[in-house]
Amino acid sequence: MARVNEYYADLQNNFLFAEVARRVAVHQARHPQLEYLRLGIGDVTSPLVPAVTQALHRAVDEMGQANTFKGYGPEQGYSFLREAIVQHDFAQRGVTMDNEAIFISDGSKCDVGNLQELFSPDAVIAVTDPVYPVYVDSNIMAGRGGNRGHILYLPCTQENNFVPELPSGKVDVIYLCYPNNPTGTVLSRAQLAVWVEYALACEAVIIFDAAYEAYINDPNIPHSIYEIDGAEKVAIECRSFSKTAGFTGLRCAYTVIPKTVRAKNVQGETVSLQGMWQRRQCTRYNGCPYIVQRAAEAVYSPEAQTQLAAVLQGYMRNARAIRQAVLEMGLHCVGGVNAPYVWMQTPEHLSSWECFDVLLDAGIVCTPGAGFGPSGEGYVRFTAFGSAAHSQQAMERLKVLENFA
Ligand code: MLT
């Protein structure tokens, strides 16, 4: 009989969001009358904007005509989209980026999960704690979990103002997500520069997840790690249209690997990670659909930018309302200012999962902080991606919960 990958035994039974969905479904079966207000998984609820759906329609029509039909596309993505990305996401922010560095994909979740394949099985991986679980789980699946000690947690707590400290020893790969999922906190330019300097000094690679950069309000917060000098030598950046343009169902993202980002092989020679990723994508991936890439290109049009600004402002109004309500209850929270997540400390007598249960009984779905790592215990996360009415209603229910705050 075939042998399974034993490393899967090092994983928790269920992926966090699947476990939350399972518990909500069980609860719902017992309380069919309860109207649930879903502030759990960070899934967008506003529809695609008209400029994007119009581009989709046009692309669908092209696929139905012999002279404009497209078969397999370039694995790395169509040049029209890669050029638009370089122009709008980088050049306009003063960052010089080469088209060759851009790899279009169908989601950042896959990219941040797959990137670990570029590194040796005994690479030491550092993650902030709490952390988006995909970084950890994908490394566990590759054999870096269990008691092998290849995953180092960098606590982000109230004590250090949710700013991770540099690892005391040598690490090979560091995952940073800013604006942060789940805490909603950000790193200033100076704080991010500390990480770039560390990576340059230790020859480490940073995987920078910037999925929520569009929610940054403070002009002093960097949107891209490449705004920091030297980052082009040590950083891979993952970006997504999911939260920026409502593509969670449509699926389009991209990963940036400048050719100057290198790591060593066993002979001690340096190898380009861009070349390795190119090799990997060509082997395992046939590219994001043409119609979706045309929709993503349309995101950069002036019409779409105006339409999307209104959507994102709506989400951020929710974030502020959630944050305000939590603070008025006398509970500690962070986030909700430059990110669509609010990270709330649970009342003293409740653990993360207990708080999740209490809120679920009130019909409010949140995500328990403990699911994001040991330092997430004692917190829950609220997403601002719901409707204004639901976010407001959830906070009204929270405020009248007996013995809560
Ligand atoms: C979240 O809730 O953290 C996000 O929806 C996860 C994701 O983007 O995959």
What integer is the mean pLDDT of 73-98?
97
CA 402 to ligand 1 center in whole angstroms: 30
Report the residue among 181, 343, 379, 385 best suited for mutation to probe ligand 1: largest number of ligand atoms under 8 A from its CB: 181
For the segment 302-330, what is each residue's pLDDT rounded down to a tens digit?
A: 999 999 999 999 999 999 999 999 999 99
DSSP state of 220: T
Q: What would the pLDDT profile of 199-233 be if each residue is shown by its tens digit?
A: 999 999 999 999 999 999 999 999 999 999 999 99
Residue nearest to atom 5 of ligand 1 (CA): 42
Does pLDDT of 342 surpass 80?
yes
- Nearest atom in ligand 1 to the alpha carbon of residue 40 is 2
Structure tokens at 226: 């490449």
Over 90: is that where the pLDDT of 153 sits? Answer: yes
| Residue 237 pLDDT | 98
d(CA 262, CA 302): 37
When pLDDT is cut at 50, 70 and 90, the band that residue 403 belongs to is confident
* Residue keyed to tokens 């570029």: 118
- Token pair for 18: 């699947």
β-strand 333-335 against 270-272: which pairing, if any? unpaired
SS3 of residue 32 by DSSP: coil
b/e code 306-329 from CB counts within 10 Å (16+ = b): ebbeebbebbbebbebbbebbeeb
For Cα atoms 41, 306, 393, give the angle at the middle one, nearest 5 degrees.
35
Residue 43 CA, ligand 1 centroid: distance in Å:
7
Q: Quote the CA–CA distance of 73 and 59 in Å, as a whole number.
A: 14
**Residue bearing the CA closest to ligand 1, atom 8:** 42
Which 8-state DSSP code applies to residue 101?
G
Q: 14: pLDDT confidence band, cut at 50, 70 and 90?
A: confident
Cβ contact 176:207 at 8 Å: yes
Which pLDDT score is estimated for 365? Answer: 97
Q: Spell out a b/e string for 155-184, using b for 16 or more CB atoms within 10 Å of the CB, else e.
A: bbbeeeebebeebeeebbbbbbbbbbbbbb
- Residue 257 contacts residue 101 (beta carbons within 8 Å): yes
Q: Average the pLDDT over 234-256 and give the result.
A: 98
Interval between CA 385 and ligand 1 midpoint (Å) = 11
The contacts of residue 159 (CB under 8 Å, 6+ apart) are none
Examine the pLDDT at 146 and tell me if it is beyond 90. no
Q: Ligand 1 within 6 A of 42 CB?
A: yes
Q: Ligand 1 centre from 165 Cα, in Å?
A: 24
**Alpha carbon of 106 to ligand 1 centroid (Å):** 14
Q: Hey, how many other C-beta atoms are within 10 angstroms of the C-beta on 382?
A: 34
Distance between Cα 316 and ligand 1 center (Å): 17
**257 φψ region: left (φ > 0), alpha (ψ -120 to 50), beta (else):** beta
Ligand 1 neighbourhood includes 41 CB (under 6 angstroms): yes
Residue 13 has a pLDDT of 81
Ligand 1 centroid to 62 CA: how many Å? 32
Contact criterion met (CB below 8 Å) for 153 and 374: yes
- Nearest-CA residue for atom 3 of ligand 1: 42
| Alpha-carbon torsion, ordered 19, 24, 25, 29, to 10 deg | 150
Tokens of 164: 């991770």
Give, using CA atoms, the residue closest to atom 4 of ligand 1.
42
What digits encode the pLDDT tens for the residues 277-309? 999 999 999 999 999 999 999 999 999 999 999
Six-digit token string for 204: 């480490």
Tokens of 241: 């249209």
181 in ligand 1 pocket by Cβ < 6 Å? yes
- The pLDDT score that the predictor gives to residue 148 is 85
